[in-house]
Amino acid sequence: MFSRPFISWSVAGSSILALAAAGGLAARTSALSTVAAEAATVREGTIVELAQQAGAFKTLLAAAEAAGLVEALAGPGPLTVFAPTDDAFAALGHKAMADLLKPENRGRLRAILKYHVVPARVPAAAAVKLSAAPTLNGQRAALRVENGQLFVDQARVIKTDQLANNGVVHVIDRVLLPVERDLAEQAKRNHFGTLVAAAKAAGLVPALQGEEPLTVFAPTDEAFARLGDATIQRLLKPENRETLAAILKYHVVAGRVFADDAVAAGSAETLAGERVRVGLADGVLRVNDATITRTDVGARNGVIHVIDRVLLPESVRARLGTPDAGTGPRGLILTAIDRGVPLFNNGQPEACAAIYEVTALNLLALPEGALPGPARTALADALRAAREQSQAGERAWTLRRGLDAALATLPM
């Protein structure tokens, strides 16, 4: 798991814990700024009693009863409920609602209702300053203000700050539906063909379909292609199943870790037993030597961050050896990266930067026709910028970006 201090915030005078619990249900909350909310009268009753008195939430209450969540909503909280009206539920259609209320669909109903609940007191004055809110479902619901109107996902908030003694209710005009596809289904849907094939070969698909939440740093097909056909084919052989499994587990962290949490943590323990580093460099989010090109792709049982390079743990590098980089400028760059990354990850940024710098200088020393002009420009700019930086880590990142930019101009 990512290591992170236990923190609390204050919103409208109420203490909010980063790991909030309600009726035995727990979920991680995101950082909220201290916001001075307008004073409002707190009613004596709970959220459940408030909904009963309002008379417009009969379907919500019936669904909560069927899902076994009434006790949680009547518990001490604090909670924030985005409450769909009866009309909002009716818009789903009679058949859809009848199916949801069947005993065999209780798990799905619970997941949907928990997606409407934030384990913290979030008044409207705080909600309008957020881009997302963590729910008891584990997924985040998106928040936005459009033309002065607050939206949660695609639902419009039609009434705010209905205060109960255990939280706050915001009335919405549409039922919120969380992502119901699991990590394996999301990988297929987002065209991670090689990753899915590798997970099948390693016997890891059941874990991606399970109930325990996971965070996956998912290499694209292009990222796997950079390993070379020979290496990929070798990894997919039955006798190399353990090695392949170790590589894939190095891309997976237990728990649901969103991008902002990853940056704050700085590193994570993977299922392979080795840590990966996560950080920002000039606004670019990286995990080890890979760039994270897309963040927070939600799934029923976790979250996916898309990366442009396959991560190789040290234990596997020794067994697998350096992938065949070939010869010429492309081979020099890939070899430098493969040598530099382990040094950087092991706390030796100066040595990593030195390898990158020597490689850049050697490339620039090649005859004019051996290196394209854009590659020369990228390398020269990187060397110039690196020499102005005093921190070894920043020099390494700057030179690495120059090598990546040069590599992108070279033929495969």
Q: Please write the tens of the pLDDT for every residue from 350-394.
A: 888 888 888 888 788 877 778 888 888 999 999 999 888 888 888
Percentage of the chain modeled with pLDDT above 70: 86
Confidence at residue 319, expressed as pLDDT on a 0 to 100 scale: 64
Confidence at residue 358, expressed as pLDDT on a 0 to 100 scale: 80
Query: Which residues, 6 or more positions from 167, have their beta carbon under 8 angstroms from its beta carbon?
Result: 47, 77, 78, 79, 80, 81, 121
Confidence of residue 157 (pLDDT cuts 50, 70, 90): very high
- pLDDT tens, position by position, 97-121: 888 888 888 999 999 999 999 999 9
29-31-32-33 Cα dihedral, nearest 10 degrees: 170
Confidence at residue 143, expressed as pLDDT on a 0 to 100 scale: 93
Cα separation, 18 vs 36, in Å, equals 19
- DSSP assignment letter at 103: G
pLDDT over 70 (residue 191): yes
pLDDT over 80 (residue 208): yes
Region 166-181: what's the mean pLDDT?
A: 92
In the chain, % helix, strand, coil (3-state, to 5) comes to: 45, 25, 35
CB 90 within 8 A of CB 59: yes
Among the listed ranges 10-24, 125-139, 227-241, which one has the minimum average pLDDT value? 10-24
Closest listed residue to residue 395, CA positions, set 360, 350, 339, 336 = 350
Confidence at residue 11, expressed as pLDDT on a 0 to 100 scale: 28
Q: What are phi and psi of 170, to 5 degrees?
A: -115, 125
Percentage of the chain modeled with pLDDT above 90: 33
List C-alpha distances in Å: 53 to 45, 46, 60, 324.
10, 11, 13, 70
pLDDT over 60 (residue 27): no
Confidence of residue 347 (pLDDT cuts 50, 70, 90): confident
Cα separation, 1 vs 256, in Å, equals 9
Region 25-29: what's the mean pLDDT?
A: 33
Confidence at residue 233, expressed as pLDDT on a 0 to 100 scale: 74
Closest listed residue to residue 375, CA positions, set 363, 392, 385 = 363
Confidence of residue 329 (pLDDT cuts 50, 70, 90): confident
**What integer best gives the mean pLDDT of the chain?**
81
Which domains are assigned to the chain?
Answer: 8-172 (2.30.180.10), 183-316 (2.30.180.10), 325-408 (no CATH)
Confidence at residue 109, expressed as pLDDT on a 0 to 100 scale: 92
Return the ∠ at Cα 410 (arms to 407 and 412), rounded to 5°: 100
- pLDDT tens, position by position, 229-271: 677 777 877 788 888 889 999 999 999 999 888 888 888 899 9
Bridge partners for 146 per DSSP = 149
Confidence at residue 201, expressed as pLDDT on a 0 to 100 scale: 83
C-alpha radius of gyration, the chain, whole number: 25
Confidence at residue 305, expressed as pLDDT on a 0 to 100 scale: 94
Name the packing angle between helices 328-345 and 349-364 (round to 10°): 170
**Cβ burial, residue 222 (10 Å; 0-12/13-18/19+):** exposed
Q: What are phi and psi of 53, to 5 degrees?
A: -70, -35
Closest listed residue to residue 113, CA positions, set 157, 156, 69 = 69
Region 41-45: what's the mean pLDDT?
A: 62
Closest listed residue to residue 257, CA positions, set 187, 305, 315, 192 = 305
